Structure 1
Amino acid sequence: MTVHGLFAKTSPTEMSSRGKPHIAIVGRGFSGVMMAIALMKSVRAAFHVHLFDPQPTISGGQVLAAAQSGEILNSRVRDLSVAAGQPEDFNDWLSANAEFRAAVPAAIPGFQQIFVPKSIFSDYVYQRFSEALTRRPDISMQLSCQAVLGLRKQANGRFLVVQENATVECDAVVLATGFGLRRGEMEVADEEKPLVRARRLVVPRHTVLLGSGVRVVDRLLQLRDNGFAGEVTILSRHGFLPQPHTRLSAAPTFPVEPMPTRLGEIVRFVRQACAEAEEAGLGWQAAMNGLRRRARSLWQALPEEEKHRFNRHLRSIYDSHRNRLPAPLYLRLRQELASERTVLRKGWAGRRRPEGLMVRFAGESQETLLSADQVIDCRCSAPDLQAPLMQSLFSGGLAEPDELDLGIAVSPAGEVLAGGAPTRDLYAIGPLGVGSLPDIDLVPEIVTQTYAAARLIATRNRVTLKTG
């Protein structure tokens, strides 16, 4: 979505003269856009929103960016509503879309259990954003395409958002920067590039995909759909690929007895719960869905040492079972692996070389060259705690890393914590809080968190909540 038109009514001069509460949202991916929607739908009084992001477009972030028509979201329609208290909103939007109804007639009268392309969900989110903005002529909105380099708390209690050539004063700040996604083909370092290259088109015969999540499967299937017939190697540190969703909805189920408190006992407890769900004909997915409802309290009760053990040894297994593939895509993945055109190998990626990729395979102590014509990085990276913005938060005592250094410490409502207490009027939405809140990188959890943060922002800035 381009900036022009959407923000045409914004005037910084008008904004400053009106004296509205000024709310900064740093990041315009899904978390940032969703935060703006939650504010516009929840807060009754007028306010000004300043959206910061180096990109000149609203990209959709990890969830929506670069969505190709073949990429399918790994959550069902029932879990993707952006409207608080209206779980059928996305289904209703799809039902009102004549073109979509014609393409998916078997799902009529409802689409709750199906999986849709990311591009469809993107259209839905942007339309709801535009509708919310259109209904609020009292709200002014401003876009800044400079990176935010720092954040300072002033003596008057307001924040100063620091950019390279400007500073902006705000009453509340929402960090929605998500986490970085390595994207595209890995390039050879300049010093290793051949001095002379033949001017000819090289058709790749062997492609290496880095990663093990849903994105690596998306890229594999896109390569095949686009006619690539060569060999593919999926290189993963732990070797766990996404598991399948059930074909029909797996209603959450989980034992009601108290959970153990030690990690090893918890693993055995969860395995037993999955086995019982399988025996009952519900599928292990139903037990994992039930576990997610208890994951947050379970995580917070774990000692720090146990959290580190989970992160080292179990997180990749857990992620492969929570970030699942629609059954048809999982079947295609299994067929790819069975055909031996695609292989999965465990190892650590090193530097890109003209003739391939340096890799340290599992069980080996030294790197070896994996020959490849192209290397595509599909991995997610953790939030960059060394970035200037993060470092300014830490040095100013406004935030602190979580126990695992995966992101920053936050409360369930997105309040940024420092010294165990919330920093007033400072929030972090979505994946920045993944070390504090399990599953906060998923759409339903982000949506819930944005509305909780919007309620707190309304209360603390003496503006009123909308009641209908």
Structure 2
Amino acid sequence: MTVHGLFATKPPAAASLSSKPEFAIVGRGFSGIMMAIALMKSVRVSFQLTMYDPHPSINGGQALSSAQSLEILNSRVRDLSVAAGQPDDFNDWLCANDEFRAAVPAAIPGFRQIFVPKGIFSDYVHQRFSEALARRSDITVKFSHEPVLALRKLSTGRFTLVREGGNDECDVVVLATGFGVQPRNIEISGDETPVVRARRLVDPRHAVLLGSGIRVVDRLFQLRDNGYAGRITLLSRHGFLPQTHTRLAAAPSFPVDPMPVGLRQIVRFVRQACADAEASGQGWQSAMNGLRRRARSLWQSLSPQEKRQFNRHLRAIYDSHRNRLPAAVHARLQQELADGRTVLCRGWAGRRLPEGLMVRWAGQSSEELLRADQVIDCRCSAPDLAAPLFRSLFAGGLAMTDELELGLAVSPTGEVLAEGGRTPNLFAIGPLGLGSLPDIDLVPEIVTQTYAAARLIATGKRPALKAG
């Protein structure tokens, strides 16, 4: 059965159970939940949906993995709506929450500018998922806890999803595995944070956190809030910690002049734009917010060699300026570093040993032992392109990697690209396409992409490309 174009002409009443289109979403993190919401809102005919994930419950993936904690999200309420065309949906949900209004009265009547804990955002996402499902009594949603090991395309155009317990067939497959499936050969603690604990406590008051992004800051403050008073070392290759948000949202501002050609010239142009924004009192954050609106066209204008140069030398700097911390959290981080209890070091993590971690420090050619009783990996997992699921896609000619081999090559709507062009009815949503689409790991971009993919599935019509 060909899915594209079917929904535009076939009314819901005409679809029997046996003829219902069958969709599969692989992954139940934020990308998977968001894709399910978009399908339920966009596809008007009856359908069957199966969501696959080895986790027994919807856990939010890496983005919301600690949703029960008080970790603060690094995006404002105004940027976190999951409703297409309704940017104030999350704000309205908070305003309708009496308990939240009582706890944060100063922001009434609106909460658009504030930052909220992950747990609150997780509750909002799950409630919107439940509401979307409740409004669609004509559809069937099932959950499978078996991992999908392979994906094959049949001569009929349908797909076979291979599991240990048997095979399933469906019409449309959406890969929403976040940063991919990559098993880690380290112990997992009770809160699912990857942890290596020394079997012999040589230095029982020293913890090493790997990474320098938002997750490492979250874990640092978790340790402190739980009473950990020992030394903490933040270890990363580049050593760029997240920068700070402005007190109020910085309106996007960027020069309207044509962008130069070439990576070096573009970097100079962006630096000058940030300097000009600072000089005018707007702050460099407004220039970075404006740059994000042009990031996709800029990325596509770079040659493969320039993309590799950016990823190798500039990605960490860019990420530290786009993934920013609320001002209060940033101030606490700076105080932590100033007090000397936490230090930031540049280096490469090597083998884990009972006594700690082997490290090659920046500027050195040999490794040395960094003694610690805990080594906690706070880095985001990169997609493991050698995993059986992805290997099956490549072997079957259904997918190819992006130019940098960071993930799958995808179109803006998430369609998976292969050597022969788009693979019909196969999508990869969110961070799996980060090598093709900059910033596709952020909530607003994921929301936009899921609705675009859902509309394409429903109508077969691709959105018109927008200039620059």
Residue in 1 aligned with 2:127? 127
Q: CA deviation at 1:414?
A: 0.4
8 Å contact from structure 2 (residues 307, 404) kept in 1: yes
SS at match of 2:380: coil
SS at match of 1:425: strand
In structure 2, C-alpha distance between the alignment counterparts of 1:21 and 1:256, rounded to whole Å: 46
**1:276-287 equivalent positions in 2, closer than 5 A:** 276-287=276-287
Residue in 2 aligned with 1:79? 79
CA change 1:66–1:203 in 2 (3 A) is farther
Please tell me whether residue 429 in structure 1 is matched to residue 429 in structure 2: yes
In structure 2, C-alpha distance between the alignment counterparts of 1:204 and 1:221, rounded to whole Å: 18
In structure 2, C-alpha distance between the alignment counterparts of 1:158 and 1:184, rounded to whole Å: 37
Q: CA deviation at 1:62?
A: 1.4
The one-letter code of the counterpart of 2:439 is D
Task: Report the identity percentage.
Answer: 73
Residue in 2 aligned with 1:184? 194
8 Å contact from structure 2 (residues 203, 372) kept in 1: no
Please tell me whether residue 41 in structure 1 is matched to residue 25 in structure 2: no
Residue in 2 aligned with 1:322? 322
In structure 1, C-alpha distance between the alignment counterparts of 2:437 and 2:275, rounded to whole Å: 26
**1:102-141 equivalent positions in 2, closer than 5 A:** 102-141=102-141
Q: Tell me the alpha carbon deviations over residues 344-394 of structure 1, each in whole angstroms, 9 at most, x when there is no partner.
A: 000011111111111011011111000111111101121110000000000
Residue in 2 aligned with 1:8? none
The one-letter code of the counterpart of 2:195 is E
Q: Tell me the alpha carbon deviations over residues 272-329 of structure 1, each in whole angstroms, 9 at most, x when there is no partner.
A: 0000100111100000000000000000111101000000000000000000000000
Please tell me whether residue 297 in structure 1 is matched to residue 303 in structure 2: no
In structure 2, C-alpha distance between the alignment counterparts of 1:16 and 1:57, rounded to whole Å: 30
The one-letter code of the counterpart of 1:241 is L
In structure 1, C-alpha distance between the alignment counterparts of 2:261 and 2:74, rounded to whole Å: 31
RMSD of aligned C-alpha atoms? 1.6
In structure 1, C-alpha distance between the alignment counterparts of 2:50 and 2:249, rounded to whole Å: 40
In structure 1, C-alpha distance between the alignment counterparts of 2:204 and 2:114, rounded to whole Å: 35
SS at match of 1:61: coil
**1:150-299 equivalent positions in 2, closer than 5 A:** 150-179=150-179, 183-187=193-197, 204-299=204-299
Deviates more, 1:328-337 or 1:176-185: 176-185
Deviates more, 1:172-181 or 1:436-445: 172-181
Gaps of 5+ in 1: 1-14, 462-468
In structure 1, C-alpha distance between the alignment counterparts of 2:83 and 2:45, rounded to whole Å: 19
In structure 2, C-alpha distance between the alignment counterparts of 1:438 and 1:444, rounded to whole Å: 12
SS at match of 1:63: coil
SS at match of 1:381: coil
**1:335-414 equivalent positions in 2, closer than 5 A:** 335-414=335-414
In structure 2, C-alpha distance between the alignment counterparts of 1:185 and 1:381, rounded to whole Å: 14
8 Å contact from structure 1 (residues 187, 352) kept in 2: no
The TM-score with structure 1 as length reference comes to 0.91
- Which 4+ residue blocks in structure 1 deviate beyond 6 angstroms? none
8 Å contact from structure 1 (residues 50, 143) kept in 2: yes
Residue in 1 aligned with 2:417? 417
Q: CA deviation at 1:70?
A: 2.2
In structure 2, C-alpha distance between the alignment counterparts of 1:41 and 1:356, rounded to whole Å: 50
Q: Tell me the alpha carbon deviations over residues 58-111 of structure 1, each in whole angstroms, 9 at most, x when there is no partner.
A: 111111112243201110000100000000000000000000001111111100
The one-letter code of the counterpart of 2:194 is G
SS at match of 1:143: strand
The one-letter code of the counterpart of 1:184 is P
